[in-house]
Structure 1
Protein backbone atom coordinates (compact mmCIF):
# COMPACT_ATOMS: atom_id res chain seq x y z
CA UNK A 1 0.00 0.00 0.00
CA UNK A 2 1.44 3.38 -1.03
CA UNK A 3 0.05 5.64 1.69
CA UNK A 4 2.31 8.55 0.73
CA UNK A 5 1.75 8.58 -3.02
CA UNK A 6 2.06 12.09 -4.42
CA UNK A 7 3.88 13.44 -1.35
CA UNK A 8 7.25 15.19 -1.53
CA UNK A 9 9.68 14.39 1.30
CA UNK A 10 13.04 15.87 2.34
CA UNK A 11 15.35 13.76 4.51
CA UNK A 12 18.48 15.42 5.88
CA UNK A 13 21.42 13.11 6.43
CA UNK A 14 19.74 10.63 4.11
CA UNK A 15 22.88 9.02 2.72
CA UNK A 16 23.37 6.56 5.60
CA UNK A 17 21.91 4.95 8.70
CA UNK A 18 18.44 5.99 9.86
CA UNK A 19 18.16 8.66 7.17
CA UNK A 20 18.90 6.17 4.39
CA UNK A 21 16.46 3.60 5.80
CA UNK A 22 13.75 6.25 6.15
CA UNK A 23 14.28 7.58 2.63
CA UNK A 24 13.89 4.03 1.36
CA UNK A 25 10.71 3.47 3.38
CA UNK A 26 9.19 6.79 2.31
CA UNK A 27 9.87 5.98 -1.33
CA UNK A 28 8.36 2.51 -0.95
CA UNK A 29 5.24 4.20 0.43
CA UNK A 30 4.99 6.29 -2.73
CA UNK A 31 6.69 9.56 -1.76
CA UNK A 32 9.05 11.49 -4.01
CA UNK A 33 12.18 11.77 -1.87
CA UNK A 34 15.06 14.22 -1.66
CA UNK A 35 18.04 13.28 0.52
CA UNK A 36 20.83 15.55 1.71
CA UNK A 37 24.24 15.07 3.26
CA UNK A 38 27.65 16.69 3.59
CA UNK A 39 29.70 14.16 1.61
CA UNK A 40 29.21 14.50 -2.14
CA UNK A 41 30.21 10.95 -3.08
CA UNK A 42 28.12 9.39 -0.32
CA UNK A 43 25.04 11.45 -1.25
CA UNK A 44 25.38 10.64 -4.94
CA UNK A 45 25.89 6.92 -4.26
CA UNK A 46 22.93 6.72 -1.87
CA UNK A 47 20.67 8.68 -4.23
CA UNK A 48 21.55 6.33 -7.09
CA UNK A 49 20.92 3.23 -4.95
CA UNK A 50 17.59 4.52 -3.71
CA UNK A 51 16.44 6.09 -6.97
CA UNK A 52 15.86 9.47 -5.28
CA UNK A 53 17.20 13.01 -5.67
CA UNK A 54 20.40 13.83 -3.79
CA UNK A 55 21.53 17.34 -2.80
CA UNK A 56 24.82 18.07 -1.05
CA UNK A 57 24.18 20.29 1.99
CA UNK A 58 25.90 20.75 5.34
CA UNK A 59 23.38 21.09 8.18
CA UNK A 60 26.07 22.82 10.23
CA UNK A 61 26.06 25.83 7.88
CA UNK A 62 23.18 28.30 7.68
CA UNK A 63 24.10 29.46 4.15
CA UNK A 64 24.12 25.80 3.06
CA UNK A 65 20.68 25.27 4.63
CA UNK A 66 19.29 28.33 2.85
CA UNK A 67 20.76 27.16 -0.46
CA UNK A 68 19.19 23.72 0.10
CA UNK A 69 15.78 25.31 0.64
CA UNK A 70 16.21 27.41 -2.50
CA UNK A 71 17.23 24.34 -4.53
CA UNK A 72 14.25 22.36 -3.29
CA UNK A 73 11.93 25.27 -4.05
CA UNK A 74 13.14 25.34 -7.67
CA UNK A 75 12.16 21.70 -8.11
CA UNK A 76 9.08 21.73 -5.87
CA UNK A 77 7.06 24.75 -4.86
CA UNK A 78 6.16 22.98 -1.60
CA UNK A 79 6.88 19.81 0.38
CA UNK A 80 4.71 17.49 2.48
CA UNK A 81 7.30 15.81 4.70
CA UNK A 82 10.45 17.05 6.43
CA UNK A 83 12.61 14.60 8.39
CA UNK A 84 15.36 16.51 10.22
CA UNK A 85 17.67 13.59 10.77
CA UNK A 86 21.27 14.74 10.24
CA UNK A 87 23.33 14.67 13.40
CA UNK A 88 26.67 13.83 14.99
CA UNK A 89 27.76 12.27 18.29
CA UNK A 90 31.00 14.14 18.86
CA UNK A 91 33.53 13.20 21.51
CA UNK A 92 32.59 11.97 24.97
CA UNK A 93 33.88 13.97 27.90
CA UNK A 94 32.95 15.12 31.36
CA UNK A 95 31.56 18.62 31.82
CA UNK A 96 34.85 19.57 33.45
CA UNK A 97 36.93 18.42 30.48
CA UNK A 98 34.63 19.59 27.67
CA UNK A 99 36.23 21.51 24.80
CA UNK A 100 34.74 24.45 22.96
CA UNK A 101 35.65 22.77 19.65
CA UNK A 102 33.56 19.67 20.39
CA UNK A 103 30.73 21.75 21.88
CA UNK A 104 30.50 23.91 18.75
CA UNK A 105 30.79 20.92 16.42
CA UNK A 106 27.89 19.02 18.02
CA UNK A 107 25.62 22.00 18.71
CA UNK A 108 26.16 23.57 15.29
CA UNK A 109 24.78 20.45 13.59
CA UNK A 110 22.43 18.86 16.13
CA UNK A 111 20.82 22.01 17.51
CA UNK A 112 21.52 25.13 15.46
CA UNK A 113 21.48 23.26 12.16
CA UNK A 114 18.32 21.31 12.95
CA UNK A 115 16.63 24.47 14.24
CA UNK A 116 17.34 26.49 11.11
CA UNK A 117 16.56 23.58 8.81
CA UNK A 118 13.06 23.57 10.25
CA UNK A 119 12.92 27.37 10.35
CA UNK A 120 13.88 27.89 6.73
CA UNK A 121 11.72 25.07 5.38
CA UNK A 122 8.53 26.30 7.08
CA UNK A 123 7.51 28.54 4.15
CA UNK A 124 7.77 25.50 1.84
CA UNK A 125 5.69 23.21 4.04
CA UNK A 126 2.20 22.58 2.73
CA UNK A 127 -0.69 23.07 5.12
CA UNK A 128 -1.19 19.66 6.69
CA UNK A 129 2.47 18.70 6.29
CA UNK A 130 4.40 16.54 8.74
CA UNK A 131 7.77 17.30 10.35
CA UNK A 132 9.76 14.73 12.31
CA UNK A 133 12.88 15.57 14.31
CA UNK A 134 15.39 12.83 15.14
CA UNK A 135 16.11 13.15 18.85
CA UNK A 136 17.55 10.52 21.22
CA UNK A 137 16.59 8.70 24.40
CA UNK A 138 19.66 10.34 25.96
CA UNK A 139 17.75 13.64 25.93
CA UNK A 140 15.93 12.42 29.04
CA UNK A 141 18.78 10.40 30.59
CA UNK A 142 21.68 11.56 32.71
CA UNK A 143 24.68 9.55 31.55
CA UNK A 144 28.11 10.76 32.55
CA UNK A 145 30.38 12.10 29.79
CA UNK A 146 27.43 12.70 27.48
CA UNK A 147 26.34 16.22 28.42
CA UNK A 148 26.94 17.92 25.07
CA UNK A 149 25.17 15.35 22.89
CA UNK A 150 22.30 14.89 25.37
CA UNK A 151 21.80 18.64 25.64
CA UNK A 152 21.66 19.01 21.86
CA UNK A 153 18.88 16.43 21.66
CA UNK A 154 16.98 17.84 24.67
CA UNK A 155 16.96 21.16 22.83
CA UNK A 156 15.38 19.44 19.81
CA UNK A 157 12.55 18.16 21.99
CA UNK A 158 11.82 21.71 23.13
CA UNK A 159 11.81 22.94 19.53
CA UNK A 160 9.45 20.13 18.56
CA UNK A 161 6.82 21.14 21.10
CA UNK A 162 7.02 24.87 20.44
CA UNK A 163 6.96 24.44 16.65
CA UNK A 164 3.97 22.11 17.02
CA UNK A 165 2.06 24.90 18.78
CA UNK A 166 3.14 27.57 16.30
CA UNK A 167 2.32 25.50 13.22
CA UNK A 168 -0.94 23.97 14.47
CA UNK A 169 -3.09 26.69 12.80
CA UNK A 170 -1.78 25.39 9.47
CA UNK A 171 -2.43 21.79 10.55
CA UNK A 172 1.29 21.06 10.27
CA UNK A 173 2.27 18.35 12.73
CA UNK A 174 5.70 18.30 14.41
CA UNK A 175 6.90 15.25 16.34
CA UNK A 176 10.16 13.76 17.56
CA UNK A 177 11.44 10.20 17.45
CA UNK A 178 14.02 9.33 20.11
CA UNK A 179 15.87 6.11 19.37
CA UNK A 180 18.09 4.34 21.81
CA UNK A 181 20.89 2.08 20.59
CA UNK A 182 20.48 1.49 16.85
CA UNK A 183 22.79 -0.57 14.62
CA UNK A 184 24.24 2.16 12.38
CA UNK A 185 27.76 3.36 11.63
CA UNK A 186 27.45 6.42 13.88
CA UNK A 187 29.23 4.65 16.75
CA UNK A 188 32.01 3.59 14.40
CA UNK A 189 32.51 7.26 13.55
CA UNK A 190 32.84 8.17 17.23
CA UNK A 191 36.54 7.24 17.28
CA UNK A 192 36.41 3.90 19.10
CA UNK A 193 38.92 1.17 18.34
CA UNK A 194 37.46 -2.14 17.15
CA UNK A 195 37.89 -3.57 20.63
CA UNK A 196 36.46 -0.45 22.23
CA UNK A 197 33.45 -0.48 19.90
CA UNK A 198 32.74 -4.10 20.76
CA UNK A 199 32.90 -3.30 24.48
CA UNK A 200 30.56 -0.30 24.06
CA UNK A 201 27.99 -2.40 22.19
CA UNK A 202 28.17 -5.12 24.83
CA UNK A 203 27.72 -2.51 27.58
CA UNK A 204 24.71 -1.04 25.78
CA UNK A 205 22.98 -4.38 25.15
CA UNK A 206 23.35 -5.33 28.82
CA UNK A 207 21.30 -2.24 29.68
CA UNK A 208 18.47 -2.85 27.20
CA UNK A 209 15.61 -4.95 28.66
CA UNK A 210 14.89 -6.44 25.21
CA UNK A 211 18.61 -7.30 25.10
CA UNK A 212 19.39 -6.25 21.56
CA UNK A 213 20.04 -3.09 19.57
CA UNK A 214 17.39 -1.74 17.24
CA UNK A 215 17.59 -1.49 13.48
CA UNK A 216 17.46 1.63 11.33
CA UNK A 217 14.40 0.15 9.62
CA UNK A 218 12.53 0.15 12.96
CA UNK A 219 12.95 3.91 13.23
CA UNK A 220 12.16 4.38 9.54
CA UNK A 221 8.78 2.72 9.96
CA UNK A 222 7.94 4.95 12.93
CA UNK A 223 8.93 8.11 11.07
CA UNK A 224 6.89 7.04 8.05
CA UNK A 225 3.89 6.31 10.27
CA UNK A 226 4.12 9.83 11.74
CA UNK A 227 4.14 11.23 8.19
CA UNK A 228 0.98 9.40 7.19
CA UNK A 229 -2.70 10.19 7.67
CA UNK A 230 -2.80 7.45 10.32
CA UNK A 231 -1.11 9.99 12.65
CA UNK A 232 -3.28 12.98 11.77
CA UNK A 233 -4.13 13.67 15.45
CA UNK A 234 -0.56 13.43 16.77
CA UNK A 235 1.61 16.50 17.22
CA UNK A 236 4.13 17.81 19.74
CA UNK A 237 4.92 14.27 20.88
CA UNK A 238 8.15 12.37 21.48
CA UNK A 239 8.32 8.67 20.68
CA UNK A 240 11.05 6.80 22.53
CA UNK A 241 12.32 3.68 20.77
CA UNK A 242 15.03 2.11 22.91
CA UNK A 243 13.96 -1.43 23.83
CA UNK A 244 13.12 -0.20 27.33
CA UNK A 245 16.60 1.17 28.03
CA UNK A 246 15.32 4.39 29.62
CA UNK A 247 13.31 2.35 32.13
Structure 2
Protein backbone atom coordinates (compact mmCIF):
# COMPACT_ATOMS: atom_id res chain seq x y z
CA UNK A 1 0.00 0.00 0.00
CA UNK A 2 1.34 3.43 -0.96
CA UNK A 3 1.66 5.41 2.28
CA UNK A 4 1.93 9.14 3.04
CA UNK A 5 2.12 10.59 6.54
CA UNK A 6 1.23 14.25 7.07
CA UNK A 7 2.94 15.11 10.33
CA UNK A 8 2.58 18.01 12.74
CA UNK A 9 5.84 18.18 14.71
CA UNK A 10 4.60 20.72 17.26
CA UNK A 11 6.52 23.87 18.19
CA UNK A 12 9.86 22.24 17.33
CA UNK A 13 11.22 21.33 20.76
CA UNK A 14 11.92 17.61 21.15
CA UNK A 15 10.05 17.44 24.45
CA UNK A 16 6.84 18.14 22.51
CA UNK A 17 7.30 15.43 19.88
CA UNK A 18 4.62 12.75 20.01
CA UNK A 19 5.19 9.00 19.89
CA UNK A 20 2.96 8.89 16.81
CA UNK A 21 5.20 11.41 15.08
CA UNK A 22 8.40 9.56 15.98
CA UNK A 23 7.03 6.20 14.83
CA UNK A 24 5.82 7.68 11.55
CA UNK A 25 9.26 9.22 10.88
CA UNK A 26 10.98 5.94 11.74
CA UNK A 27 8.71 4.11 9.31
CA UNK A 28 9.20 6.60 6.49
CA UNK A 29 11.77 6.19 3.76
CA UNK A 30 11.39 9.75 2.48
CA UNK A 31 10.86 12.97 4.44
CA UNK A 32 9.71 16.20 2.80
CA UNK A 33 9.58 19.63 4.44
CA UNK A 34 10.69 23.24 4.66
CA UNK A 35 14.39 23.21 5.60
CA UNK A 36 14.09 24.94 9.02
CA UNK A 37 11.41 22.39 10.01
CA UNK A 38 13.69 19.52 9.06
CA UNK A 39 16.36 20.93 11.37
CA UNK A 40 14.00 20.40 14.30
CA UNK A 41 13.75 16.67 13.56
CA UNK A 42 17.35 16.04 12.44
CA UNK A 43 17.76 13.29 15.06
CA UNK A 44 15.11 11.27 13.21
CA UNK A 45 16.19 11.74 9.58
CA UNK A 46 19.37 9.64 9.43
CA UNK A 47 19.34 7.29 6.47
CA UNK A 48 16.23 8.88 4.93
CA UNK A 49 15.83 10.52 1.55
CA UNK A 50 15.28 14.23 2.21
CA UNK A 51 13.47 16.66 -0.07
CA UNK A 52 13.08 20.32 0.77
CA UNK A 53 12.17 23.67 -0.75
CA UNK A 54 12.30 27.27 0.41
CA UNK A 55 9.62 29.63 1.64
CA UNK A 56 6.48 30.03 -0.51
CA UNK A 57 7.03 26.68 -2.26
CA UNK A 58 4.43 24.73 -0.31
CA UNK A 59 2.63 23.28 -3.33
CA UNK A 60 5.94 22.15 -4.83
CA UNK A 61 6.69 20.29 -1.59
CA UNK A 62 3.24 18.71 -1.64
CA UNK A 63 3.80 17.46 -5.18
CA UNK A 64 7.20 16.07 -4.18
CA UNK A 65 5.62 14.15 -1.30
CA UNK A 66 2.83 12.77 -3.48
CA UNK A 67 5.24 11.71 -6.23
CA UNK A 68 7.39 9.92 -3.68
CA UNK A 69 4.41 8.09 -2.17
CA UNK A 70 3.09 7.16 -5.63
CA UNK A 71 6.46 5.61 -6.43
CA UNK A 72 5.89 3.19 -3.57
CA UNK A 73 8.09 4.80 -0.93
CA UNK A 74 6.62 5.43 2.52
CA UNK A 75 6.78 9.21 2.75
CA UNK A 76 6.34 11.86 5.43
CA UNK A 77 5.49 15.51 4.92
CA UNK A 78 6.26 17.61 8.01
CA UNK A 79 4.78 20.88 9.24
CA UNK A 80 5.37 22.72 12.49
CA UNK A 81 2.49 22.93 14.93
CA UNK A 82 -0.46 20.86 13.72
CA UNK A 83 -0.48 20.06 10.00
CA UNK A 84 -4.25 20.61 9.88
CA UNK A 85 -4.05 24.22 11.11
CA UNK A 86 -2.39 26.53 8.55
CA UNK A 87 -0.28 23.50 7.59
CA UNK A 88 0.10 21.07 4.72
CA UNK A 89 -2.79 18.69 5.41
CA UNK A 90 -5.31 20.71 3.40
CA UNK A 91 -3.42 21.17 0.12
CA UNK A 92 -2.06 17.63 0.24
CA UNK A 93 -5.52 16.12 0.64
CA UNK A 94 -6.87 18.29 -2.17
CA UNK A 95 -4.05 17.29 -4.52
CA UNK A 96 -4.39 13.62 -3.57
CA UNK A 97 -8.16 13.43 -4.08
CA UNK A 98 -7.95 11.07 -7.08
CA UNK A 99 -4.80 9.20 -6.07
CA UNK A 100 -4.58 5.69 -4.61
CA UNK A 101 -2.51 6.60 -1.56
CA UNK A 102 -3.11 5.73 2.07
CA UNK A 103 -2.82 9.08 3.86
CA UNK A 104 -2.53 9.34 7.64
CA UNK A 105 -2.47 12.66 9.51
CA UNK A 106 -0.38 12.76 12.70
CA UNK A 107 -1.51 15.68 14.91
CA UNK A 108 0.90 18.00 16.68
CA UNK A 109 0.76 20.74 19.31
CA UNK A 110 -0.30 23.97 17.59
CA UNK A 111 1.34 27.32 18.29
CA UNK A 112 -1.66 28.73 20.16
CA UNK A 113 -1.57 25.87 22.69
CA UNK A 114 2.21 26.11 23.02
CA UNK A 115 2.06 29.86 23.65
CA UNK A 116 -0.89 29.60 26.04
CA UNK A 117 0.99 27.06 28.16
CA UNK A 118 3.75 29.63 28.74
CA UNK A 119 1.52 32.39 30.11
CA UNK A 120 -1.21 30.58 32.07
CA UNK A 121 -4.65 29.51 30.86
CA UNK A 122 -5.79 32.26 28.47
CA UNK A 123 -7.77 30.01 26.09
CA UNK A 124 -9.84 28.14 28.69
CA UNK A 125 -13.04 29.37 27.04
CA UNK A 126 -14.22 29.73 23.43
CA UNK A 127 -11.53 31.08 21.16
CA UNK A 128 -10.74 31.69 17.49
CA UNK A 129 -7.49 31.66 15.53
CA UNK A 130 -6.91 34.36 12.93
CA UNK A 131 -3.85 34.67 10.71
CA UNK A 132 -2.85 38.23 9.89
CA UNK A 133 -1.01 37.08 6.76
CA UNK A 134 -2.84 38.24 3.66
CA UNK A 135 -0.88 35.98 1.27
CA UNK A 136 -3.84 33.58 1.12
CA UNK A 137 -6.70 35.70 2.53
CA UNK A 138 -7.71 39.24 1.49
CA UNK A 139 -7.05 41.86 4.13
CA UNK A 140 -10.64 43.08 4.17
CA UNK A 141 -11.83 39.55 4.96
CA UNK A 142 -9.26 39.22 7.75
CA UNK A 143 -10.51 42.47 9.29
CA UNK A 144 -14.13 41.32 8.96
CA UNK A 145 -13.28 38.13 10.85
CA UNK A 146 -11.52 40.13 13.58
CA UNK A 147 -14.59 42.32 13.94
CA UNK A 148 -16.97 39.35 14.15
CA UNK A 149 -14.72 37.57 16.66
CA UNK A 150 -14.73 40.72 18.79
CA UNK A 151 -18.50 40.94 18.62
CA UNK A 152 -18.71 37.33 19.82
CA UNK A 153 -16.31 38.08 22.72
CA UNK A 154 -13.99 35.24 21.74
CA UNK A 155 -10.46 34.94 23.01
CA UNK A 156 -8.48 35.67 19.82
CA UNK A 157 -5.19 33.99 18.89
CA UNK A 158 -3.38 35.93 16.18
CA UNK A 159 -0.97 33.96 14.01
CA UNK A 160 1.61 35.69 11.78
CA UNK A 161 1.06 39.04 13.51
CA UNK A 162 3.88 41.05 11.95
CA UNK A 163 6.51 40.83 9.24
CA UNK A 164 8.74 43.20 7.27
CA UNK A 165 6.15 43.27 4.52
CA UNK A 166 3.26 43.71 6.98
CA UNK A 167 4.65 45.95 9.73
CA UNK A 168 1.30 47.54 10.69
CA UNK A 169 -1.22 44.69 10.51
CA UNK A 170 -1.21 43.88 14.23
CA UNK A 171 -1.61 47.56 15.08
CA UNK A 172 -4.52 47.72 12.65
CA UNK A 173 -6.07 44.62 14.23
CA UNK A 174 -5.93 46.27 17.65
CA UNK A 175 -7.62 49.28 16.09
CA UNK A 176 -10.50 47.09 14.90
CA UNK A 177 -10.87 45.63 18.39
CA UNK A 178 -11.00 49.12 19.90
CA UNK A 179 -13.69 50.09 17.40
CA UNK A 180 -15.68 47.15 18.75
CA UNK A 181 -15.41 48.42 22.31
CA UNK A 182 -12.27 46.69 23.59
CA UNK A 183 -10.82 48.71 26.43
CA UNK A 184 -7.12 49.60 26.70
CA UNK A 185 -6.86 47.41 29.81
CA UNK A 186 -7.80 44.19 27.94
CA UNK A 187 -5.03 41.59 28.65
CA UNK A 188 -2.75 40.48 25.83
CA UNK A 189 -0.06 37.80 25.80
CA UNK A 190 2.75 37.81 23.25
CA UNK A 191 4.93 34.71 23.05
CA UNK A 192 7.82 34.39 20.59
CA UNK A 193 9.36 30.97 19.79
CA UNK A 194 7.02 29.26 22.26
CA UNK A 195 8.51 26.12 23.81
CA UNK A 196 11.72 26.23 21.83
CA UNK A 197 15.16 27.87 21.97
CA UNK A 198 14.97 31.65 22.11
CA UNK A 199 11.56 31.84 23.76
CA UNK A 200 10.42 35.29 24.90
CA UNK A 201 7.09 36.31 26.40
CA UNK A 202 5.33 39.49 27.45
CA UNK A 203 2.07 39.98 29.33
CA UNK A 204 0.65 43.37 28.45
CA UNK A 205 -2.60 45.12 27.50
CA UNK A 206 -4.07 46.49 24.30
CA UNK A 207 -3.22 50.00 25.46
CA UNK A 208 0.42 49.19 26.24
CA UNK A 209 1.06 46.72 23.41
CA UNK A 210 4.41 47.26 21.66
CA UNK A 211 4.05 45.51 18.31
CA UNK A 212 7.77 45.88 17.56
CA UNK A 213 8.28 42.78 19.76
CA UNK A 214 6.35 40.63 17.28
CA UNK A 215 7.39 38.74 14.18
CA UNK A 216 6.15 35.70 12.26
CA UNK A 217 7.26 33.43 15.10
CA UNK A 218 5.09 35.22 17.66
CA UNK A 219 1.65 34.23 18.92
CA UNK A 220 -0.54 37.08 20.18
CA UNK A 221 -3.45 36.12 22.46
CA UNK A 222 -6.10 38.73 23.26
CA UNK A 223 -8.42 37.88 26.13
CA UNK A 224 -12.20 38.14 26.33
CA UNK A 225 -14.14 40.36 28.75
CA UNK A 226 -13.51 37.99 31.65
CA UNK A 227 -9.78 37.44 31.10
CA UNK A 228 -7.45 38.74 33.80
CA UNK A 229 -3.81 38.61 34.88
CA UNK A 230 -2.86 37.71 38.43
CA UNK A 231 0.45 36.62 39.93
CA UNK A 232 2.06 36.70 36.51
CA UNK A 233 -0.40 34.39 34.76
CA UNK A 234 -3.18 35.15 32.28
CA UNK A 235 -6.46 33.37 32.97
CA UNK A 236 -9.76 33.21 31.11
CA UNK A 237 -12.38 31.75 33.47
CA UNK A 238 -14.74 29.14 32.07
CA UNK A 239 -17.35 29.62 34.77
CA UNK A 240 -16.51 26.97 37.33
CA UNK A 241 -17.75 27.72 40.85
CA UNK A 242 -14.55 27.96 42.88
TM-score, normalised relative to structure 2 = 0.36
More strand by percentage: 2
Higher helix residue share: 1
TM-score of the pair, normalised by structure 1: 0.35
